[in-house]
Amino acid sequence: MNQYPMWKYVMIVVIIFSGVLYALPNLFGADPSVQISTTRGAEITEETLATLESTLGERNLSPRGSELEDGRMLLRFNDTTEQLLAYEVIKESLGQNYIAALNLAPATPDWLRSVGGEPMYLGLDLRGGVHFLMEVDMDAAEAQAVQRYFGDLRSELRKEKIRYLRDRRPGKDASFKFRDQIVRDEALVVLERAYRDLAFSSSEEAGEFYLEFVISSEESREIRKFALEQNMTTLRNRVNELGVAEPVVQQQGNNRIVVQLPGVQDTATAKEILGATATLEYRLVDTDHDVQQAVDGRVPPGSELYKRRDGSPVLLKKSVIVTGDQIINAASGIDSRNGSPMVSVTLDAKGAKKMGDFTRENVGRSMAVVFVEHKTETRMVDGEKVRHRRIVEEVINVATIREYFSKRFQTTGLDNTTEAHNLALLLRAGALAAPIEIVEERTVGPSLGKDNIDQGFMSVMIGFIAVLVFMAVYYRTFGIVANVALALNLVLMIAVLSMLQATLTLPGIAGVVLTVGMAVDANVLIFERIREEIANGSSPQASIHAGYEKAFSTIADANITTLIAAVVLFSFGTGPIKGFAVTLSIGIVSSMFTAIVGSRALINLIYGRRRLSKLSI
């Protein structure tokens, strides 16, 4: 009566073995490490690694291990003291084209990694790291939108052959000046028909006729919403592709973004990584005027003077062709025509139309890619901290327009394949729709994270041991079986969290502790049902069978309702609440398996096919 077929025992053994295997990586801890990545086309090679190891050896510092993968290097050290000393040496020996960051790298053995075994991620409160609260400049987002509309309006007027005398675009609004009222009214009709998201108004001053426009309130709300969403996506993509460990990027309020980088201990480095978030602009190179005259101060109207990365000047047209927020994909590769590195770019529909119209008229001329970075610096003025924003602009690439193109095209003229890869990363991740500035920053030290882990582990162990003692004393042999199932439940929870690469936080540990208390509920229901059957005169074997069969529906109902609550928490909650919901959901599912299937298998092995006069329950 109380026997499983062989396939069920095999299934249970396979699940237990897999659970133990994928939970093992969490026992090996993490090594204090220095992670090195590149910027601006630099390369990390075996020679770079050898040079660093030689430099560290001169300072009596020897990494316990090194890894070189995907253009990034990881150096492992024995303790945090060596890690910090090595970090300073690495920063001194490497130039500005490299980024060094303090990190904690999993110490999982190679044989476990070969089968996909990785430890679960730890959140900022457990691992330590940096926390930034960033504010999006919504006024700048609207001003940028006005500038984009301004260029479109001028093109529309030229297309309709409507001449204006002068234009003005100071910020959120702009205007055109016309020679008479008839021309202005004609322009008003044309522009209102073509641009329904703008609010136009006419005015007359000292015999001069003006047409002003501003963004409508509905369009303004859409611009602000898009700016926040685009910035979040850009930050998430950039940080992910730069290799920062398990980043968290979340919205806070209507204009703020929270960025958490677990494992990174140096705020300056984290800022440098986030500093890669900027905008890109494609502009036409002005070859009609002399660059040297512009350097001497005679910049021609309609052009601006820029500098390349090597410091050489280049003269560009003020008019922007397309910006980075209109790029939907980018990939690096090799130009089949000459074997040089290149980046293949794909634009959205609006950007493709503008690029197509532009290149059709400018084949043979040069186009530049401008990297525009908004930096915020804090200065002390009269004893108070004052934030000062400055814009850094540099030309990262100049290429010749060889033929007409629109949606897809290639950017060439790059120095090497690494530079092409980094440019593709920058383009693919997207541009910021508006400047951002850090309004709050915090560093959570690894020692505090270790204290949180120790306290969380202690709480789990105390709850676990208390449940073990109670079940063993109250239900005897059956209680011991329940305890084995409970231990298996913890192993499976950790294994699933590791396999999903979920991030464990303090609220997640609370979910684990709650699961430890709730996991034996199913066994309690089963065991009490078995006691009732024995009291009613049923045989021990029949009581065991009835206990598991009749308690199943009650157990399923109770766990399904809890699982529904966990799903709702995950759907509507934010970071910490989601972490709690994830561990609770996994705990419910695994406890159902261990309490019903796992414990039944053990009971069958102990009591199955035996003549029993009584049960130890």
Q: What is the DSSP string of 8-45?
A: HHHHHHHHHHHHHHHHGGGGS-EEEEEEEEE-TT----
| Mean pLDDT across 481-491 | 91
Q: Rounded to whole angstroms, how far apart are CA atoms 578 and 502?
A: 11
Residue 13 pLDDT level (bands cut at 50, 70, 90):
very high
* Amino acid making up residue 75: L
Helix axes 599-607, 446-500, angle to 10 degrees: 70
Residue 130 · residue 442 · CB < 8 Å: yes
Q: Rounded to whole angstroms, how far apart are CA atoms 115 and 112?
A: 6
pLDDT above 90: residue 16 = yes
pLDDT of residue 126: 77
Q: Rounded to whole angstroms, how far apart are CA atoms 343 and 425?
A: 10
| Mean pLDDT across 164-175 | 64
Instruction: List Cβ<8 Å contacts ≥24 apart for 559-562.
Output: 559/522, 559/588, 559/591, 559/592, 562/518, 562/588
Dihedral angle, C-alpha 462, 464, 465, 470, nearest 10 °:
120
Domains of the chain: 6-24+445-607 (1.20.1640.10), 31-106 (3.30.70.260), 139-218 (3.30.1360), 278-431 (3.30.1360.200)
pLDDT above 80: residue 191 = yes
pTM of the model: 0.60
Three-state secondary structure readout of 580-608: HHHHHHHHHHHHHHHHHHHHHHHHHHHHC
Nearest to 154 by CA among 139, 169, 134: 169
Q: pLDDT tens digit string along 130-159? A: 888 888 888 878 877 777 777 778 777 878
Q: What is the largest CA-CA distance in the chain?
A: 113
Q: pLDDT tens digit string along 566-579? A: 999 888 876 678 88
Q: Rounded to whole angstroms, how far apart are CA atoms 409 and 346?
A: 7
pLDDT of residue 348: 83
* Amino acid making up residue 366: S
Nearest to 63 by CA among 74, 51, 76: 76
- For the ranges 117-126, 207-216, 260-269, 348-357, the lowest mean pLDDT is seen at 260-269
Residue 250 · residue 574 · CB < 8 Å: yes
Q: pLDDT tens digit string along 427-468? A: 666 666 677 777 887 777 666 667 777 887 888 888 889 888
pLDDT of residue 265: 60
